[in-house]
A and B are shown apart, each in its own frame.
Chain A
Amino acid sequence: MRIQTPEDLDSVRKNGLKKIQPGRPRIGIGTSSCGIAVGGIALYDRINEIVQNENHDISLVKTGCIGFCKEEPIVSVSIPGKALVLLRKVHQEDAEKVISLALQGDVPSDRVLCKISDWDHITGNLVYGNGFDSIPEYEEIPFFAHQKKVILRDSGLINPEDIDEYIGIGGYFASFKALTSMEPDAIIDEVKRSGLRGRGGAGFPAGLKWEITKKAPGEEKYIVCNADEGDPGAYMNRNEMESDPHMLLEGMLIGAFAMGVHEGLIYIRAEYPLAIERLMLALEQARLYGLLGKNIFNTGFDFDIRIATGAGAFVCGESTALAASIEGKTGRPRLRPPRLTEKGVFGKPTDLNNVETWCNVPVIIAKGASWYSSIGAKGNTGTKVFSLVGKVDNVGMVEVPLGTSLHSIIYDIGNGGALGREVKAVQTGGPSGGCIPVRLFDTPVDFENLNKVGTMMGSGGLVVMDEDTNMVDIARYFINFASGESCGKCVPCREGLKHMLLILNRIVAGKGTHEDINLLKELSETVQKTSLCGLGQTAPNPVLTTMQYFLEEYDDLISPEA
Chain B
Amino acid sequence: MSLFGSMNRMVTITINKNQYLAEEGEIFLLTAMRLNIDIPHLCYEKALEPYGACRLCMVDVVTCGKTTMTPACTIKVHNGLEILTDTPEIIKHRSLLFELYLAEAPKSEVVREMAAKYGVTKTRFLKKIVHDDPLLGKCILCGLCVRVCNEIMGTCAINFINRGPYTVINTPFFEQNPDCAGCAACAQVCPTNAIVFDDRGSNRIMQSWSHTTVPLATCSSCRKSFAPEKLMQKVLNNLEPEIIEEIRTLCPECRRKLITRKEVGKIPKS
A contacts, CB < 8 Å to B: 313, 330, 332, 335, 483-492, 494-499, 502, 519, 522-523, 525-526, 529-532
> B55 interface residue, CB < 8 Å from A?
yes
Q: A495-B103, A499-B125, A526-B96 are in contact. Are A488 and B167 (CB under 8 A)?
A: yes
The SS class assigned to the A binding surface is helix
Minimal beta-carbon separation of B44 from chain A (angstroms):
12
Cα A186 to Cα B165 in complex, Å, equals 49
> B23 interface residue, CB < 8 Å from A?
no
**B51 contacts A530, C-beta separation under 8 Å:** no
Instruction: Encode B98-130 as 1/0 by CB contact (under 8 A) with A.
Output: 001101100000000000000000001110000
Which of B74, B89, B125 neighbours the largest number of chain A CB atoms within 10 Å of its CB? B125
**A491 contacts B55, C-beta separation under 8 Å:** yes
Minimal beta-carbon separation of A323 from chain B (angstroms):
15
Q: A490-B52, A495-B104 are in contact. Are A529 and B163 (CB under 8 A)?
A: no
Chain A positions within 8 Å of B100 at CB level: 491-492, 495-496, 499
Chain B positions within 8 Å of A332 at CB level: 160
B contacts, CB < 8 Å to A: 50-55, 58, 69, 71, 74, 89, 92-93, 96-97, 100-101, 103-104, 124-126, 140-141, 143, 159-160, 162-167
Cα A532 to Cα B140 in complex, Å, equals 16
**B58 contacts A495, C-beta separation under 8 Å:** no
Which A-B residue pairs are the 9 nearest by beta carbons?
A: A488-B167, A486-B164, A498-B165, A495-B100, A526-B96, A335-B52, A526-B93, A530-B55, A499-B125
Q: How many A-B residue pairs have CB under 8 A?
A: 87
7 contacts between A and B (CB under 8 A): A483-B164, A488-B164, A488-B165, A488-B166, A491-B101, A502-B125, A519-B124
**B124 contacts A495, C-beta separation under 8 Å:** no
Minimal beta-carbon separation of B23 from chain A (angstroms):
20
**A497 contacts B53, C-beta separation under 8 Å:** no
Chain B positions within 8 Å of A529 at CB level: 69, 89, 93
Q: A335-B52, A491-B101, A519-B124 are in contact. Are A530 and B165 (CB under 8 A)?
A: no
Which of B51, B52, B140, B143 neighbours the largest number of chain A CB atoms within 10 Å of its CB? B52
Chain A positions within 8 Å of B92 at CB level: 526
Q: A335-B74, A491-B104, A499-B103 are in contact. Are A532 and B164 (CB under 8 A)?
A: no
Q: A530-B58, A532-B55 are in contact. Are A494 and B93 (CB under 8 A)?
A: no
Query: Contacting A335 at CB < 8 Å: which of B51, B96, B163, B165?
Result: B51
Cα A498 to Cα B99 in complex, Å, equals 13
Minimal beta-carbon separation of B76 from chain A (angstroms):
10
Minimal beta-carbon separation of B96 from chain A (angstroms):
4
Least CB separation from B92: chain A residue: A526
Chain B positions within 8 Å of A492 at CB level: 55, 97, 100
Chain B positions within 8 Å of A530 at CB level: 55, 58, 69, 93, 97
Cα A486 to Cα B166 in complex, Å, equals 10
Cα A532 to Cα B73 in complex, Å, equals 13
Which of B92, B93, B163 neighbours the largest number of chain A CB atoms within 10 Å of its CB? B163
Cα A496 to Cα B51 in complex, Å, equals 19
Minimal beta-carbon separation of B203 from chain A (angstroms):
31
**B53 contacts A499, C-beta separation under 8 Å:** no
Minimal beta-carbon separation of A336 from chain B (angstroms):
9
Cα A519 to Cα B165 in complex, Å, equals 19
**A494 contacts B165, C-beta separation under 8 Å:** yes
**B167 contacts A494, C-beta separation under 8 Å:** yes
Query: Contacting A483 at CB < 8 Å: which of B55, B71, B124, B165?
Result: B165
**A488 contacts B103, C-beta separation under 8 Å:** no
Cα A487 to Cα B126 in complex, Å, equals 21
Cα A488 to Cα B167 in complex, Å, equals 6
Chain A positions within 8 Å of B74 at CB level: 335
**B96 contacts A488, C-beta separation under 8 Å:** no
Chain B positions within 8 Å of A491 at CB level: 53-55, 97, 100-101, 104, 140-141
**A495 contacts B163, C-beta separation under 8 Å:** no
Minimal beta-carbon separation of A478 from chain B (angstroms):
14
Minimal beta-carbon separation of A534 from chain B (angstroms):
14
Cα A525 to Cα B89 in complex, Å, equals 10
